[in-house]
């Protein structure tokens, strides 16, 4: 995959959980303060220009129309110029504000994703991916909106102060009359948001529900079809969609009740200004221009008062979203890296010493397991389902840390290796390989992005993948469908083996990695592995006799412990439990000679 040049996040979140959410977000805002302050200053300048316009209209009317002393064209021209200036300033203010918003969002997204990537298997065992997606999108958006639009709305609210000051300087009594409806607007604005807010939350939650149903059914479409579950799943979606419809309708009802009230209050304000202002004009205490200008001010004052409610609700939503984001960021990765530790020369010796391991949910994985695998050995791990075979590989690659005992690689505890070195030395191919929706070349080169085509092909040849890849329309450049579903199970496994081989690890763990490959191909893969990279330690979780036949040594695992160790023939003769496990695998294949 080509490296995309990117900028690192400029700042993160304050790590102190005792601080308020805004204080914790402060470093982010500070990192982008230049942009934000520029935008706010510009926005303020735009407001100053904006409040001048009604005043100019007032002077224009009184001067050019009533007194007939000034030139109408001059006033009209001046107003037009101010409008253009305000337009340009607003354009720039908006541009800077949006840039701040997206820069902040970029940082936040990278910080969250970077943290997610550092989290270990145990974390992903606990959390739900749908929930994480939502945190990574809508929660980040909610925080970003409040951090950038919040200050901007506050600046816009200052227009109320500026306009009021100007009105007082023109006509104090009329200024008070013009402001009369504002407190009502502010109070109703807050009430409206309070009424609508829970419903908008409900809409969000229910939309997420629909997304989960759609997502699961698209991911699991093969199962749905296999069990003819289409109609049932359509009904499930209809139920979820109905809940969204109800929430939207309730929202619409609330809005249609509140919005006309909010829209009509300003008209009451206009009527009051016309009545009181008109009487003052008739009595000679005000000019016609003043009444017209105050009309504009009344309209100009509405939005800030209306937005008060919005900003309060945005703040509440952002606080809840921020808390959910912080919950992720505050979860420290439980697999810690010893970046600067020195690693011994790689030989490929693996030793598990009285290893105990309990999964985060309390399930016992290994229970005092002792195992020594010499460099270059090929060992098959055999055992009933759930006996702990895969767990051994996961602990050797340090996807989890042991709860007791030690896993040693070349005599050094795996916890004392830099993680990158360890993962280079212990290659693992899971039984259900995951392929990315990129080309086969890029899938194979995932662990060595700089590898050239020859190296990729060599790995594919060794994994028995070259032949079928060449037959694909675009060969190695063929882009596989999501999760590699355009390939067969056996083909996906071979690509995954090639991916592990390209890294050329001294210890290779094949976790039932050839289960979907037919016996002949499996044999070929192992033959080429043997020939190509002799001296590699290979640990195979094996269910099939054919796979077991490739091993120098067989280790029988039961209840998280080693119960027997020897050759296939030896165990068959001496260990009844071995024969039982083999019988349970339902394999009727012969061991290759």
Ligand X SMILES: Nc1ncnc2c1ncn2[C@@H]1O[C@H](COP(=O)(O)OP(=O)(O)OP(=O)(O)O)[C@@H](O)[C@H]1O
* Contact residues: ligand X, CB under 6 A: 125, 359, 361, 363, 365, 383, 385-391, 541
* Closer residue to ligand X, CB minimum distance, 386 or 449: 386
* Closer residue to ligand X, CB minimum distance, 14 or 559: 559
* Closer residue to ligand X, CB minimum distance, 413 or 432: 432
Residue 127 CB, shortest distance to ligand X, in Å, is 12
* Closer residue to ligand X, CB minimum distance, 260 or 386: 386
Put the strands of the sheet holding 412-413 in their side by side order: 364-373, 350-358, 404-409, 412-413
64 and 70 in contact (C-beta within 8 Å)?
Answer: yes
Q: How many angstroms separate the CA atoms of 504 and 567, rounded?
A: 27
CA 90 to chain CA mean position, Å: 33
- Per-residue tokens: 94: 């908006």
Q: How many angstroms separate the CA atoms of 123 and 397, rounded?
A: 16
Residue 516 CB, shortest distance to ligand X, in Å, is 14
Radius of gyration of the chain (CA): 35
Q: What is the DSSP letter of 10?
A: S
Q: How many angstroms separate the CA atoms of 263 and 260, rounded?
A: 5
At a CB cut-off of 8 Å and minimum separation 6, what does 315 contact?
Answer: 146, 150
Q: How many angstroms separate the CA atoms of 7 and 308, rounded?
A: 36
Number of Cα atoms under 13 Å in the Cβ half of residue 427? 22
At a CB cut-off of 8 Å and minimum separation 6, what does 31 contact?
Answer: 10, 11, 107
- Per-residue tokens: 421: 């070195």
Residue 403 CB, shortest distance to ligand X, in Å, is 13
* Closer residue to ligand X, CB minimum distance, 243 or 356: 356
Residue 511 CB, shortest distance to ligand X, in Å, is 7
CA 232 to chain CA mean position, Å: 30
* Closer residue to ligand X, CB minimum distance, 125 or 482: 125
Residue 342 CB, shortest distance to ligand X, in Å, is 31
Residue 383 CB, shortest distance to ligand X, in Å, is 5
User: Could you give the 3-state DSSP secondary structure of residue 76?
Assistant: helix
* Closer residue to ligand X, CB minimum distance, 359 or 468: 359
């Amino acid at each position: 995959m080509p490296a995309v040049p990117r900028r690192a996040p400029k700042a993160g979140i304050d790590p102190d959980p005792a601080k308020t959410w805004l204080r914790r977000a402060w470093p982010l805002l500070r990192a982008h303060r230049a942009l934000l302050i520029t935008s706010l200053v510009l926005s303020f300048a735009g407001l100053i220009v904006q409040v001048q316009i009604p005043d100019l209209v007032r002077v224009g009317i009184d001067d050019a129309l009533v007194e007939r002393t000034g030139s109408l064209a001059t006033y009209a021209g001046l107003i037009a110029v101010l409008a253009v200036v305000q337009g340009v300033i607003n354009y720039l203010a908006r541009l800077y504000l949006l840039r701040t918003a997206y820069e902040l969002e970029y940082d936040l997204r990278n910080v969250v994703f970077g943290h997610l990537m550092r989290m270990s298997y145990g974390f992903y065992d606990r959390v739900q991916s749908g929930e994480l997606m939502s945190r990574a999108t809508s929660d980040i958006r909610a925080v970003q909106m409040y951090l950038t639009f919040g200050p901007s709305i506050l600046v816009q609210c200052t227009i109320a102060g500026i306009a009021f000051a100007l009105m007082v300087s023109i006509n104090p009594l009329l200024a008070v009359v013009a402001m009369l409806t504002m407190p009502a607007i502010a109070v109703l604005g807050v009430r409206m948001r309070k009424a609508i807010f829970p419903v908008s939350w409900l809409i969000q939650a229910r939309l997420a529900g629909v997304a989960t149903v759609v997502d699961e059914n698209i991911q699991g479409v093969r199962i749905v079809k296999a069990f003819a579950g289409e109609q049932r799943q359509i009904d499930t979606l209809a139920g979820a969609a109905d809940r969204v419809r109800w929430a939207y309708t309730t929202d619409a009802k609330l809005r249609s009740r509140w919005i006309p009230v909010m829209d009509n209050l300003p008209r009451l304000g206009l009527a009051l200004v016309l009545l009181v202002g008109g009487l003052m004009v008739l009595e000679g205490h005000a000019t016609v221009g003043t009444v017209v200008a105050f009309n504009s001010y009344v309209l100009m004052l509405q939005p800030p008062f209306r937005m008060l409610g919005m900003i309060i609700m945005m703040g509440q939503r952002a606080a809840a979203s921020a808390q959910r984001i912080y919950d992720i960021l505050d979860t420290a990765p439980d697999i810690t890296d010893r970046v600067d530790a020195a690693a011994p020369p790689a030989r490929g010796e693996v030793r598990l010493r009285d290893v105990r391991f309990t999964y985060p949910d309390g399930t016992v994985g290994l229970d005092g397991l002792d195992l020594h695998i010499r460099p270059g050995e090929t060992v098959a791990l055999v055992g009933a389902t759930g006996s702990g075979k895969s767990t051994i590989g996961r602990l050797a690659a340090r996807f989890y840390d042991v709860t007791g005992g030690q896993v040693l690689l070349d005599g050094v505890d795996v916890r004392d290796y830099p993680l990158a070195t360890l993962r280079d030395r212990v290659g693992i191919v899971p039984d259900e390989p995951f392929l990315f929706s990129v080309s086969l070349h890029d899938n194979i080169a995932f662990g060595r992005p700089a590898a050239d085509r020859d190296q990729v092909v060599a790995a594919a040849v060794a994994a028995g993948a070259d032949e079928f890849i060449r037959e694909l329309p675009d060969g190695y450049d063929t882009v596989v469908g999501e999760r590699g579903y355009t390939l067969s199970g056996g083909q996906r496994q071979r690509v995954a083996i090639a991916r592990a081989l390209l890294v050329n690890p001294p210890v290779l763990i094949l976790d039932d990695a050839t289960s979907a490959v037919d016996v002949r191909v499996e044999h070929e893969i192992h033959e080429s592995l043997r020939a190509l990279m002799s001296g590699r330690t290979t640990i195979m979780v094996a269910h099939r006799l054919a796979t077991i036949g490739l091993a120098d040594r067989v280790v029988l695992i039961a209840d998280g412990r080693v119960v027997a160790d020897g050759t296939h023939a030896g165990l068959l003769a001496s260990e009844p439990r071995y024969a039982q496990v083999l019988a349970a695998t339902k394999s009727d294949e012969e061991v290759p000679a």
